[in-house]
Amino acid sequence: MVGVVENNIQRELQLLLMKNLGSSMLPGILVALILFLTLKNPANESGLAFWLIAVSASKLFDVYDAKRIIQRGITLNQTAALKIRLMLLHAIDGAAWGSLAWLSLPASTSAGSVLILAVLAGIAANSMSILSPVLPVFAAFVVFELGSIVYAVISLNDPAYWAIGIAVALYVVTLMGQAYNSSRTVRNSIQLRFDNLELIQQLSAASEKAAKALTSAERANAEKSRFLAAASHDLRQPIHAQGLFLEVLQTTNLSPHQRELVNSISSATNATTEMLHTLLDYSRIEAGVVEPQPRAFRLQTLLSKIENELAPQANAKGLLYRSPETHAVVYSDPALIELIIRNLVSNAIRYTHRGGVLVVCRKQQFRLSLEIWDSGIGIAPSQFENIFSEFQQLGNSERDRQKGLGLGLAIVRKMVNLLGLELHLASRPGRGSVFKLSLPLTQVAVLSDDISTVPQKMQQLHARVLVVDDDAIVRQAMAQLLAEWGCHCDLAESKEESLILTRRHPPDLIISDYRLRDHCKGTDVIQAIRSACNTEIPAILVTGDTAPVRLREAAASGLPLMHKPVSPALLYAELSALLERNRQVTITQH
C-alpha cells in the first residue's frame, strides 16, 4: 500500500515537471539566440552556431517528449524508468548550456565573461522552479550545467577565474538547498491532496453506508406501517360488525345468564376496540391530520368525564382514585388534552397494584400544573426517554394484552409537542411516578363546555339509508342495527350496485366505507350518488384504514369521518344530527 502511494506521488511530481517545461522553451531559445548574436565573432561563430542548434534542439525535444508522455499517460510501474529518462534528458540539456563556457570564456572580454556567467547562473535559477518537483532531475541539470562552468574556469589556468569557480560551486550548493525545500513543499502539497482524496473517499463510503442504512431503516419503517395499517384494517372489519351485532343483541329479551354472557363479550370487544383506537390515534398523528383547535374550556368537565370512565377500572383493582375538583379555565385543545390525560391516567392505573391514583391541579402564576400521581412500580431514570418510544413497555416482557400496546406515552409526547406544552416526569422504582403537564390559564369566560354527550334514549329515525361496504358481514350488521333505529336499509357492495339501488329508492342518507374493491373510494361513490339525485344527500364515511396517506385523503374529503369499530351510540348521534340538519334545510328551501 505504501509503495502504491509513493508511486502515485512520484507520478504527480513528474507530470507537474513535464507540464512546466513548455513555459521555458521559447524564452530559453530566445536567450540562446541573443547570446549567439552578442558573443559571435569570426573565430567562434561556427562553434556558437552549433551550440545554439544543440540548446534549441534539446529544448524542443524535451517539450515534445513531455507532451507525448502526458498524452499517453503514466502507469505506476513506469515512474522509476521515467525519472531516469528525465534525468538523462536534462543532464544533456545542462551540458549543452554549460558548453557555452568552453566555447566563449577563453576569447571573451571581461564584460563578455560576466555576461556568460550571469546568464548561465540565471538559467540554473530558472530551471530550479521548473525541475525541482523531481529533485534528482534538477540535480542532473545543474551539475552538468554549472559543473561545465567550473571545469572551463579551471581549464583556463588563470587565478583570476579560480574565485569565479569557487563562487559557482557555492552557488550550486545554495541552489540545491533551495531546490530541496521547494521539492518538499510541492511533495507535501501533493501528499495532502492524496490524503484529502482518501479522506473524501472514506467519508463518501461512510456516507453511502449511512445512506443505505437510512434507506433500509425507512423501508423497514414503511413496511412496518403498511403491515400495521393492513392488519388494523382487517381486524377492524369483524370487530366493527361484532360491535354492531352486540348492540342489536342487547336490545332483545335475554335471560340473566345470557345478559351476563353478552356483557362479558362486550367487555372483551371494548378492550380490543380500545387497543385499535390507540393504533388509530397514533396513525392519525403520524399522518399529520391532527390539527389543534385551541379554545378556553373548564378543565373540571373533562376531568369528571375521565374519572367516570376510568375510576371503575381503579376500583376493580382495589385502588383509590382521587381527583379533587378544580375551577380552572385553561386555553388549549380539549380533545387533545383529554387524549393526553386519558393515556396518562390509564397508564397510572395499569402499572399500579397497591395504593391509588391522584389527579390534582396546582396553580403556578399564569399556568396550571396538571399532575397525575401514582404509587405504582415506578420508572428508573435511565428509562425516562425509552418509555416515550413506540411499542415500549416496562414490566411487560410477557406481552400481556391487558397492558396495552406500548403506544400510550408515545402518543402523549407527540400530542404535547403538537400543542407546544411541557411535560415533566419524576419517578423512583417501587415508589411510584408523577407526570406534570403545564397548561396555560385564561380569564376568558366559558358559557358552556362543548363535550359531546350521547342521548340516553334513541328515538326512531324513520329514514332510508344506503349502506355501501364490500364486507358482507358488516353490511348485515349495519342493516340489523339501522332497522332497530327505524330505518329502511339498502345494501350495496360497489359503486354500480349503489347507483342501481339509488334509482329505485333515493336515500335520505349514505353510509359508505372509504376503501372499496377495485380501488374505488367511498368519496367517489357518494359523489356519483349525489350527481344521480342532483342533491347534496347527507353522507358519512366509515373507514378501518390507519395508513397515513389514507387518513389524509379521507380527512381532506370534508365528509364526517368515523373509524371502525364505530361506537353505535356515536353513530346514532351522527345520523340524528345529519338527518335533522337536512330536514331543517329542506323546510327552509320550501
Please report, for the domain that includes residue 326, its CATH number: 3.30.565.10
- Residues 411, 531, single domain; the answer is no
Is residue 404 situated within a structural domain? yes
Closest CA to 79 of 124, 151, 17, 172: 17
Q: Are residues 427 and 543 in the same domain?
A: no
The confidence band for 229, taking pLDDT boundaries of 50, 70 and 90, is: low
pTM: 0.46
Same domain for 382 and 471?
A: no
Q: What sign results for the dihedral spanned by CA atoms 44, 46, 49, 54? A: negative
Kindly state whether residues 417 and 494 are assigned to the same domain: no
Q: Which of 479, 460, 475 is nearest to 576 (CA)?
A: 460
Which range of residues forms the domain containing residue 545? 464-589
Residue whose C-alpha cell is 490524503: 195
Asked if 485 and 428 sit in the same domain, the reply is no
- On the question of pLDDT at 266 being above 80, the answer is no
Phi, psi of 236, rounded to the nearest 5 degrees:
-65, -35
86 is a domain residue = yes
- In this structure, are 411 and 470 located in the same domain? no
Q: Which pLDDT score, from 0 to 100, does residue 357 have?
A: 94
Helices (H), 156-255: 159-250
Query: DSSP per residue over 374-397, as a string?
Result: E-SS---GGGTTGGGSTT--TT-T
Lowest mean per-residue pLDDT among 71-80, 325-334, 389-398, 423-432:
389-398
Same domain (yes/no): 163, 29: yes
Instruction: Work out the percent of the chain whose per-residue pLDDT is above 90.
Output: 20
d(CA 456, CA 555): 29
Residue 286's pLDDT is what? 61
pLDDT at residue 141 is higher than 90 = no
Q: Which of 461, 574, 466, 486 is nearest to 530 (CA)?
A: 466
Based on the fold, state whether residues 403 and 477 are members of the same structural domain.
no
One-letter amino acid of 236: R
Q: Do the domain assignments include residue 553?
A: yes
Checking if the pLDDT of 2 tops 60, the result is no
Query: Both 351 and 306 in a single domain?
Result: yes
Contact present, 165 and 153 (Cβ < 8 Å): yes
Rounded to 10°, the helix 159-250/568-589 angle is 80
User: Quick one: average pLDDT of 439-458?
Assistant: 60
Residue 426, classed as helix, strand or coil, is: strand
Residue 497 domain-assigned (yes or no): yes
Same-domain status, 430 and 504: no
Q: Is the pLDDT of residue 130 over 70?
A: yes
Domain assignment present for residue 245? The answer is: no
Inform me whether the pLDDT recorded for 383 exceeds 90: no
Domain at 516, CATH number? 3.40.50.2300
In a domain, 410, yes or no: yes
Listed range (229-233, 245-249, 495-499) with the worst mean pLDDT: 229-233
370/136 Cα distance (integer angstroms): 83
Is pLDDT at 333 greater than 80 in this prediction? yes
Question: Does residue 526 sit within a domain?
Answer: yes
253 occurs within a structural domain: no
| Claim to verify: residue 15 and residue 162 sit in the same structural domain | yes
Residues 403 and 529 in one domain: no
Q: What's the total number of domains in the chain?
A: 3
- What CA–CA distance (Å, rounded) separates 407 from 275? 9
| Angle at which helices 110-131 and 135-155 cross, to 10° | 170
Which of the four pLDDT bands, split at 50, 70 and 90, describes residue 434? Answer: very high
pLDDT tens digits, one per residue of 55-110? 899 889 988 988 998 888 888 788 888 889 889 998 898 888 888 877 777 666 66
